[in-house]
Chain A
Amino acid sequence: MTSSPLATYQPDQRAASLIGGEATDANLRRYLHGIPGIDAVGLEARAADLGTRSIKTSSKRWAIDTIIGLIDLTTLEGADTPGKVRSLVAKALVPDPGDPGCPRVAAVCVYGDMVGTAVTALGSAHAAGGTEGAGVQRVHVAAVATAFPSGRASLAIKLADVRDSVAAGADEIDMVIDRGAFLAGRFGQVYDEIVAVKDACRRADGSVAHLKVILETGELNTYDNVRRASWLAILAGGDFIKTSTGKVAPAATLPVTLSMLEVVRDWHRLTGVRIGVKPAGGIRTSKDAIKYLVTVAETVGEEWLVPHLFRFGASSLLNDVLLQRQKMTTGHYSGPDYVTID
Chain B
Amino acid sequence: MNRLAIPKTYKLYIGGKFPRSESGRVYEVLSHKGEFLANAAKGSRKDARDAVVAARSALGGWAGATAYNRGQVLYRIAELLEGRRAQFIDEIMSSEGVNAAVASAQVDEAIDRWVWYAGWADKYVQVAGNANPVSGPFFNLSVPEPTGVVAIIAPQGTESLLGLVSAIAPALVAGNTVVVVANETAPLSAISLGEVLATSDVPGGVVNIVTGSPAEIAPWLASHADVNALDLVGAGDLDWVELQISAADTLKRVLPPETGTDAAAPALSRILAFTELKTVWHTKAIL
| Chain A interface residues (CB < 8 Å from chain B) | 326, 331-338
Measured in the bound complex, the distance between the Cα atoms of B226 and A337 in whole Å is 7
CB–CB B56/A335 < 8 A? yes
Binds A, one of B193-201, B217-225, B236-244: B217-225
A334 and chain B: residue at smallest CB distance: B225
* A331 proximity list for chain B (CB < 8 A): 223
Measured in the bound complex, the distance between the Cα atoms of B49 and A335 in whole Å is 10
* A326 proximity list for chain B (CB < 8 A): 225
A333 and chain B: residue at smallest CB distance: B224
A331 and chain B: residue at smallest CB distance: B223
B57: shortest Cβ distance to chain A, in Å?
A: 10
CB–CB B56/A336 < 8 A? yes
Check if B246 is an interface residue, CB within 8 A of chain A: yes
* B249 proximity list for chain A (CB < 8 A): 332
Q: Which 7 A-B pairs have the closest CB atoms?
A: A335-B226, A332-B223, A333-B224, A335-B225, A334-B225, A333-B49, A338-B225
| Chain B interface residues (CB < 8 Å from chain A) | 49, 52, 56, 220, 223-227, 246, 249
Q: Is the interface of A mostly helix, strand, loop or mixed?
A: loop
* A337 proximity list for chain B (CB < 8 A): 225-226
28 A-B pairs within 8 Å (CB atoms) are namely: A326-B225, A331-B223, A332-B220, A332-B223, A332-B224, A332-B225, A332-B246, A332-B249, A333-B49, A333-B52, A333-B220, A333-B223, A333-B224, A333-B225, A333-B226, A334-B225, A334-B226, A335-B52, A335-B56, A335-B224, A335-B225, A335-B226, A335-B227, A336-B56, A336-B226, A337-B225, A337-B226, A338-B225
Measured in the bound complex, the distance between the Cα atoms of B246 and A333 in whole Å is 12
* A338 proximity list for chain B (CB < 8 A): 225
* B227 proximity list for chain A (CB < 8 A): 335
B60: shortest Cβ distance to chain A, in Å?
A: 12
Q: What 15 additional pairs, Cβ within 8 angstroms, besides A333-B223, A337-B226?
A: A326-B225, A331-B223, A332-B223, A332-B246, A333-B49, A333-B52, A333-B225, A333-B226, A334-B225, A335-B52, A335-B56, A335-B226, A335-B227, A336-B226, A338-B225
A335 and chain B: residue at smallest CB distance: B226
Measured in the bound complex, the distance between the Cα atoms of B160 and A47 in whole Å is 46
Measured in the bound complex, the distance between the Cα atoms of B223 and A286 in whole Å is 21
* B49 proximity list for chain A (CB < 8 A): 333
